[in-house]
């Protein structure tokens, strides 16, 4: 298996801590080892608007650090992923830019060579670990949970560089959601932007776009929005609250990180995934209730009753015991 350096970016350690927590828990459960590297810097994405040279250097430095330690990159944030992947493509194509960047990096004893692969968490789960293996590891499935998957722009497009999934009709995220027993629903504006890139520049526009997405997902019957990017999560979480308080438009559609959605079904406790479900609102409460209802609870109950009469082999007891332990 490849050796991965976990790239968490700037937002996760401050505002979306549960993403790092849950991602690490899930990866551990799936036997993927990741290394934390303190010297990583901002991917440079926000700098792109005014100084592409700064963006390119910032991204290249991160790749160079991973290369120096012979790691591949496993990225949690879609914008960091887009940023590094685009920089990687540009540096591979443009030798002049590469020389320039390396001249600056060499001051720190770093060199960008282009040997590290740049991956988003979802691709690793879907393509490297595979749906089949995830299915084997899942201890029980969601009973009735409608999920509106939000792909995130910077992972999908431009598809010739990102190579993440079919940009017009992607299925990767839906497959990952469906394997948990939840239902990835069809909804309008599924592939659109969450609105985060213009928050702070044009708040009204950002609110408009976020609100539109939330409302579309809600209308399509979603219990949760599901994301795999801190920007999107912040947008659907805290910015949704801001929309509610500033515009008076209350949707109460919670957003969950994919690693949390999957983690629960891998038997990881909600505390270890950073899920807070003490909601005051009834709609939200209902959604979170569904999150803890599983198909096999019934089956298990039946099995238990059966067990009382029939002797079961030790091996079977062991496999049964696992979910119990977690609870």
Partner 1 sequence: MAFDIFLNSSLIILTIGLLFKIAQWFSFKIGIRAENAGLMQRAFSAFKGVLKTIITPKIFILIYVFIIDVLFQYKILKQDFLRWFMHMLIFWGFMLLLFMHALETLISDPFFPNYYSTVNPYMFLRDFFGAMVLVGLSIAIFRRFFMRIPRLKTNKSDLYAIGIVAVIIFSGFLLEGSKIISYSEFRNMEEEYSALDDKDDIFALESYWVKYYSLVSPNDTSEVPEDIMEVGEEIHNDSCVDCHSRPQAAFGGYAVAKVFSPVGNILECISAVNIFYYIHILSCFLGLALLPFTKMLHIVSTPISLITSAIMQRDKACPENIATRQAIELDACVHCSTCSTNCSVAPAFDTLDNANILPSERMMSLRKWVINKTVDSKDFAAIQEGIYLCSSCERCTVVCPAGINLRELWYDVREEFIRNGSIVTPLVLTPYSYNRTYSQDEFQTSLLDSPAREVKAVIAKKYNKVKHSDDVLSLTSADNNENNDISLVDNTFSSCFSCENCTNVCPVVMNYENPEDYVDLLPHQIMRSLGLGLKDLALGSEMLWDCLTCYQCQEHCPQNVKVTDIFFELKNQISKDCFNNNDKEP
**Binding status of residue 148 toward partner 1 by CB under 8 A:** no
**Binding status of residue 153 toward partner 1 by CB under 8 A:** yes
Please pick, from the candidates 111, 117, 167, 283, the single residue that binds partner 1 as defined by CB under 8 A: 167
Task: Select 142 or 207, whichever has its Cβ closest to partner 1.
Answer: 207
| Contact between 54 and 44 (Cβ < 8 Å) | yes
Give, as ranges, the residues between 254 and 283 that touch partner 1 (CB under 8 A): none
| Nearest to 235, CA basis, from 275, 192, 295, 294 | 192
**Binding status of residue 206 toward partner 1 by CB under 8 A:** yes
- Token couple for 311: 């002797």
Task: Select 139 or 227, whichever has its Cβ closest to partner 1.
Answer: 227
The CA-atom distances, in angstroms, between 324 and each of 52, 149, 190, 254, 266 are 52, 30, 37, 28, 12
Please pick, from the candidates 209, 214, 217, 253, the single residue that binds partner 1 as defined by CB under 8 A: 209
Mention every residue, 6+ apart, whose C-beta is less than 8 A from residue 121. 23, 74, 75, 76, 228, 258, 259
Give, as ranges, the residues between 24 and 53 that touch partner 1 (CB under 8 A): 38, 41-42, 44-53
- Token couple for 313: 């082999």
Task: Select 4 or 40, whichever has its Cβ closest to partner 1.
Answer: 40
Chain centroid to CA 205:
25
E-strand spans in the chain? 4-7, 34-36, 72-75, 118-120, 146-149, 183-184, 224-227, 255-257
Binding segment for partner 1 (CB under 8 A), chosen from 191-199, 262-270, 274-282, 299-307, is 191-199
For the sheet containing 255-257, what is the strand order?
183-184, 146-149, 224-227, 255-257
Task: Select 197 or 263, whichever has its Cβ closest to partner 1.
Answer: 197
Give, as ranges, the residues between 70 and 109 that touch partner 1 (CB under 8 A): 104, 107-108
Please pick, from the candidates 14, 169, 282, 319, the single residue that binds partner 1 as defined by CB under 8 A: 14
Instruction: By CB under 8 A, name the binding residues for partner 1.
Output: 9-11, 13-15, 38, 41-42, 44-54, 57-58, 61, 104, 107-108, 153-154, 156-159, 167, 189, 192-193, 195-203, 205-206, 208-209, 212, 231, 234, 238-239, 242
């Amino acid at each position: 298996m490849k050796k991965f350096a976990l790239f968490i970016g700037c937002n996760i350690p401050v505002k979306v801590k549960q993403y790092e927590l849950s991602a690490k828990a899930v990866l551990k459960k799936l036997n993927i080892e990741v290394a934390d590297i303190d010297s990583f810097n901002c991917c440079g994405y926000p700098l792109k608007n005014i100084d592409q040279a700064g963006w390119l250097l910032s991204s290249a430095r991160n790749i160079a650090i991973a290369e120096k330690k012979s790691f591949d990159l496993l990225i949690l944030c879609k914008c960091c992923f887009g940023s590094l992947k685009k920089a990687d493509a540009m540096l591979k194509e443009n030798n002049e830019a590469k020389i320039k960047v390396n001249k600056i990096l060499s001051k720190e004893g770093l060199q960008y060579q282009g040997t590290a692969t740049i991956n988003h968490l979802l691709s690793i789960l879907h393509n490297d670990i595979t749906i089949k293996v995830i299915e084997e590891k899942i201890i029980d499935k969601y009973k009735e949970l409608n999920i509106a998957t939000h792909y995130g722009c910077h992972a999908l497009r431009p598809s010739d560089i990102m190579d993440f999934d079919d940009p017009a009709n992607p299925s990767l995220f839906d497959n990952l959601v469906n394997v948990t027993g939840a239902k990835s629903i069809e909804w309008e504006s599924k592939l659109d932007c969450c609105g985060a890139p213009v928050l702070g520049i044009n708040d009204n526009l950002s609110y408009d776009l976020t609100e539109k997405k939330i409302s579309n997902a809600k209308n399509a019957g979603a219990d949760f929005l599901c994301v795999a990017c801190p920007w999107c999560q912040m947008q659907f979480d805290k910015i949704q609250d801001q929309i509610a308080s500033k515009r008076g438009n209350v949707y109460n559609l919670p957003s969950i990180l994919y690693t949390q959605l999957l983690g629960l079904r891998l038997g990881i406790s909600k505390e270890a995934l950073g899920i807070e479900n003490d909601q005051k609102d009834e709609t939200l409460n209902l959604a979170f209730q569904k999150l803890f209802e599983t198909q096999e609870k019934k089956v298990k109950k039946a099995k238990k009753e059966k067990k009382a009469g029939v002797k079961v082999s030790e091996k079977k007891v062991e496999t049964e015991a696992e979910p119990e332990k977690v609870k």
